[in-house]
Amino acid sequence: MKGVRKTFPGMIALDDVNFTLRAGEIHALMGENGAGKSTLIKIITGVHRRDAGAILLDGQPIEAHSPAHAQMLGISTVYQEINLIPQLSVAENLHLGRQPMKLARIDWKTIRRRARESLARLELDIDVTRPLASFSIAIQQLVAIARSLDVEARILILDEPTSSLDENEVKQLFTVMRRLKSTGLGIIFITHFIDQVYEVADRITVLRNGRLVGEYETAQLPRLELIGKMIGRTAADTPRPERARPHGVTERNIFLQANGLGRKGSIAPLDITAHSGEVLGLAGLLGSGRTEIACLLFGLDRPDSGGIAVRGRKVRINSPRKAIAEGFGMLPEDRQSQGLVPDLSLRENITLALQARRGWLKPLSRKRQAEIADRFISALNIDTTNAEKPIRFLSGGNQQKAILARWLATEPALLILDEPTRGIDVGAKAEVEKLIASLRDRGMSIIFISSELEEVVRDSQRVIVLRDRAKVAELTAEDITEKRIMLAIAGSETT
């Protein structure tokens, strides 16, 4: 791609971007949020039309008019949300739109046979007659990849494929990717997991703010430099909040005590204590159960065992409403489906939880709503020209901040933050971490869930480590290091 440019009303999404993919290579496309990665991909796959620039395949100019057309040109994409039909069988999904026919009838037998063959090429042996949805996301992804291969892709684009996979599944995926690479396929790998990039990518392209920062050989680009290129500063400039001071916590400060809290199939019974004025970090890999605990505490799920006591008083939390009444707040992991009310304005979104707690008979006046909203808009530096626009028009990072504002507005005693920095740019991340520290200093009890180990280490006074849906360790003070946490997750003894 040469000199590609794309504008949307009010913003330049891509400005003079070049991108080169070689056959038989895995090429990572990286950039912070809003850098333009997804726009670039949408142009390649025909979802958007570029405003300027050229796209060449094998030296020949091409233009995809639609995703279907792109597929015909040999460009296949596997998105994060598996874009297949869940109720239909695996075999059928692989052949939709190109079923082999025999005498004006679909040849199901051949379909099943070919399906098994396709999947065997990816070392997958499953019952192809079962509905796609009955398999795990990892397997569904492999099926999606198999389909791409079946339609003879020359280029395979993987958009954040590892976000929902556990470690083994990621390894499996990488094996498949390497094998595909050796057959001459060109793979574009979009991800924000830096470790994974270094594990499997041959080259890296970094975008920032719609512009090309550079194209590099992975082997020749140190991590620190990569991060620097992505955020536009060298690592030395990255503002780092001071290492959290060990805080004096005594029995007096216990806000919440949960004993033997567990739920079958979700999380094994564990004890968890949250103190006022302390940040409790929950560390663990994807799938270890961190969000599950949060859901139990916040009343989104019902526990099978154990109980919760707030300030020594036993409580039964069976709905978010009850949790909120007890002084809890929770920033959900998936702000899109669990947080935003897209057509309501920023102001209404921010004041929603507060209003819900007050009840329907005591509405906040427009004036009060605006006051509260403005307070948090400036405190969190939410970038918006008008608090009356539907919130779906705001960028991801600002949406995240808005939901955070919603919970801060309720002035909770316990605030659960599930991946608060996911999806927001580095500058905003630092702001959020500063905010967490100041809330803690004001006496709030905070449970901080994050996949970024260094964040957990930096901001928590105590850390509970989870592995495979069970608590495996609890660390305090000097013991809180990335190494200790990783050891706990790995399962060896901590000295």
- For another protein, the closer CB: 236 or 361: 361
Pairing of strands 155-159, 470-476: unpaired
Q: Out of 56, 133, 224, 379, point to the residue binding another protein (CB under 8 A).
A: 133
Interface residues for another protein in 152-171 (CB under 8 A)? 164, 166
Q: Is 82 helix (H, G, I), strand (E, B) or coil?
A: coil
- For another protein, the closer CB: 154 or 247: 154
Query: What are the residue ranges of helices labelled H in 158-240?
Result: 167-182, 194-200, 223-231
State how far the Cα of 329 lies from the Cα of 313, in Å rounded to an integer: 18
Interface residues for another protein in 452-491 (CB under 8 A)? none
State how far the Cα of 470 lies from the Cα of 269, in Å rounded to an integer: 7
- For another protein, the closer CB: 4 or 387: 387
**Shortest CB 212 distance to another protein, Å:** 27
- For another protein, the closer CB: 147 or 203: 147
Is 337 one of the binding residues for another protein (CB under 8 A)?
Answer: yes
Exposed, middle or buried, 65 (CB in 10 Å: 0-12/13-18/19+)?
exposed
Query: What are the residue ranges of helices labelled H in 45-107?
Result: 67-73, 90-95
Cα 83 to its chain centre, rounded Å, is 18
- For another protein, the closer CB: 290 or 429: 290
**Shortest CB 473 distance to another protein, Å:** 18
Interface residues for another protein in 227-266 (CB under 8 A)? none
Interface residues for another protein in 99-128 (CB under 8 A)? 99, 101, 104-106, 127
Stretch that binds another protein, among 203-211, 243-251, 336-344, 394-402 (CB under 8 A): 336-344
Interface residues for another protein in 381-400 (CB under 8 A)? 388-390, 393
Residue 283 · residue 453 · CB < 8 Å: yes
Is 334 one of the binding residues for another protein (CB under 8 A)?
Answer: yes
- For another protein, the closer CB: 344 or 487: 344
**Shortest CB 68 distance to another protein, Å:** 3
Q: Out of 13, 115, 197, 340, point to the residue binding another protein (CB under 8 A).
A: 340
State how far the Cα of 438 lies from the Cα of 242, in Å rounded to an integer: 12
Interface residues for another protein in 424-453 (CB under 8 A)? 449
Of 161, 153, 155, which is closest to residue 78 (Cα–Cα)? 161
Stretch that binds another protein, among 54-62, 131-139, 181-189, 250-258 (CB under 8 A): 131-139
Interface residues for another protein in 300-319 (CB under 8 A)? 300, 319
Interface residues for another protein in 75-104 (CB under 8 A)? 77, 79, 82-88, 92, 96-97, 99, 101, 104
According to DSSP, residue 191 is labeled -
Is 49 one of the binding residues for another protein (CB under 8 A)?
Answer: no
Quote the tokens at residue 345: 């304005």
**Shortest CB 221 distance to another protein, Å:** 30
Quote the tokens at residue 221: 């680009």
Pairing of strands 60-61, 56-57: antiparallel
**Shortest CB 333 distance to another protein, Å:** 6
Quote the tokens at residue 491: 């399962």
- The amino acid present at 68, given as its one-letter code, is A
- For another protein, the closer CB: 222 or 363: 363
State how far the Cα of 478 lies from the Cα of 481, in Å rounded to an integer: 7
The upper half-sphere exposure of residue 30, i.e. CA atoms within 13 Å in the direction of its Cβ, equals 28
Residue 89 · residue 99 · CB < 8 Å: no
Interface residues for another protein in 346-375 (CB under 8 A)? 348, 352-353, 355-364
